[in-house]
Structure 1
Amino acid sequence: MDNLKKLWGLAIAAALTSVMLVDPALAQEEAPPSTSPEEAYFVFNTLLFLIGGFLVMWMAAGFAMLEAGLVRSKNVAMQCTKNIALFSIAGLMYWLVGYNLMYDGVDGGYLGSFTWFAHPEHGAEDLTYAAGTSDWFFQMVFCATTASIVSGTVAERIKLWPFLIFVAILTGFIYPIQASWQWGGGWLSEAGFSDFAGSTLVHSTGGWAALVGAIILGARSGKYGPDGQINAIPGSSLPLATLGTFILWLGWFGFNGGSQLALGTLGDASDVSRIFANTNIAAAAGCVVAMVLTQVIYKKVDLTMALNGALAGLVSITAEPLTPTFASAALIGGAGGIIVVLTVPLLDRLHIDDVVGAIPVHLFAGIWGTMAVPLTNGDTNFAAQFIGVASIGAFVVVASLLFWLILRFTIGIRASAEEEMEGLDRSELGLEAYPEFGRGSQTI
């Protein structure tokens, strides 16, 4: 019996061995396909673009909530409509003309090509495909951010469609042309100008366009009295404004961290971490400094100043979030908080009505952050930074002035006094954001 069992065991072993020889796949699992170091590097870089991109896209929600909280309730739906519309228009315009105008064949010049972006056919070996599409997505959300800055400044008195036409011009042409001078390899990049994530290219550009629009549009009715008095116009919801600020703060990690543009090495991963930390330090310093300064000047802490102080700290560090130490990041962000507290009343004295404080936050703090780059980055200098700030400012002001004036003298840009008094929710959209608390509550 034992011999019979041994014979059966030998027969089974022989049979299994013969099957394995015929089909080696049964002897061991098929080895997974190997990934080259270049492909792994590429995958991580693309992942950074995509994660950073959707974080920056989430900033669109932050702008919408910040603006919704800082306008009166009769204009909240209008601000929400403007924000979702401008993001959509930016996405289309950046595909149709913006991306290639910014990147295609700039070669040390002033603009790229007037063609639309089309991702190429791809295969497993084509490493340029994901770079193109992921980079397009990441750069597109930056473009939309520029338009969001304008929206809050001109709120509560601008008509919907003229504003959206200007957004199409800004995102399709004005923003990509000036950004090509630096990020597209244009003349400013060769002149030594440095703007890591866009204190000037994104934030000051939006700020200049907003400033010109606010001047041409004029102030809201009742904001400034005939004898020079300044009348405060409180917003509808400070909790919404606070939520919007936190969303923007979160999205900024994608804004600055993603601008490293690489995550395939230990050095890149360390740099992204450093950028995150410096970004957070600057925002915190901007908020605290704004709170302390308003307490000293006005004897009370102003929440809106605290919110804008944090945002100004974020804008200030955006031009160079990698090279500063923690202490330097705090000083740069804290200076942004000072800028907000001092320039918000300055605009009021000039009778420039900026509903959400976007001009102090994005324009003035953006200029400061760009000019501060040589303090921590020895590869640039103050002369190159000034040339970049001045040239981009001049271009955006002239282009914005031209298109704002064309809109004003053709289709008009400002709502009538009656429409403004009624609220743009009803006059432009025919609805209310809070019907239970407005006139709609009288209807059962």
Structure 2
Amino acid sequence: MNYTEVLILTLSFLVLLSIRVPVAYAIGLSGLFTLMVAMPFMPSVTTLAQRMATSLDSFTLSAIPFFILAGQIMNKGGIAVRLINFAKAIVGPLPGGLAFVNIFACMLFGAISGSAVAAASAIGGFMNPMMEKEGYDKPFSAAVNITSSTTGLLIPPSNVLIIYSLASGGVSIAALFVAGYLPGLLIGFALMMVAGVYSVIKKYPTEKLVSFKEFFKRFLDALPSLLLLVVVIGGIVAGIFTATEASAIAVIYTFVLAMAYKEISFKSIASILLETIKTSSIVLLLIATSIAMSWVMSYENIPQEISNALLSVSENPIIILILINLILLFVGVFMDMTPAILIFTPIFLPIVTDLGMNPIHFGIVMILNLCIGLCTPPVGSVLFVGCSVAELSIQKVIRPLMPLFLIMILVLVLITYIPQLSLWLPKIFDL
């Protein structure tokens, strides 16, 4: 390993980020600068361009634009309102009812849309004014919305689980999808515990218990949206279709549903497609530059050196996992989730598999680490969206965010050291 080139890679990336160069460009340029030290300019450019182009030549990656499109349709198709009404019927009467509704609705919407940002925007836009009207502190409402929105990245279908499958060299997407259920639900219930205690202390009001007739009506309203999870995940697990085919089915299903709800028209399709193209372009550019940087790191033998350095500290799996978790939590604070998965999976996965850790289990641990990073400044995209929707500064949200943030770390520890929380369901389904 050439330490000069490693220094160039690290410093150039940090400097570019510090002067607010977009993450995708910062990753690509730092990779290019590093290659230029090892080889002439033109071979460096053509090698990086080739790696970026070939990285996107993947049938699996086709699922991402489709799931993004499905999420955009859901965001504007009246699905959020129906899920919120259903959540109010289930958890509204509990202590801190509207906080529970916020968390439960984010879990449902995040799982269906596969996007934490979409959940924070759609659910937060409805729930924050509702909670403020009922007497809830505005910063607390925003903090609940921000943290619970990340659960949808673990509860399938999830784009980041697909990206991890790609970065890991082909871990089963179906197994990852099924493995995400229990950890995602555990995070949601842990957040509810904290929100419930906070609400009892603050004496926040609860919702009235709805009649069985009203409950059944709300359930029927939300049922078509909930069935999307059954169709998509059931089809993948049963082997009826692949994750990519499931994403296309999700688009058709959500479009038909949104048209049936009469929440979107044919005129609005153009704006939905344009937004999908913009979001997909950003994600795919991040993927291309991240895979190129990952190749540069492999070329410089960096993953092997990091592996040797970690194992030189200790060969105890508990200590190694603590170190990896700390590194990923730190990385999540400064780097977006997609490049973090693509860059650090090839580094850490060989280490943990040598220690006997299942790649499916590590994928869930890694994504939960980075989910926590989405809630933290300075690059916490969900934090910024949640604060923007609530019309609050980040400083005002940090204090109520801390206990929710800490319970997420506690759940991370449980999931790290109790593998069956991630592996039990895949084992049942023989995945």
Is this a same-fold pair by TM over 0.5?
Answer: no
With normalisation by structure 2, the TM-score equals 0.32
Structure (1 or 2) with the larger CA radius of gyration:
1
Give the helix-richer structure, 1 or 2: 2
With normalisation by structure 1, the TM-score equals 0.32
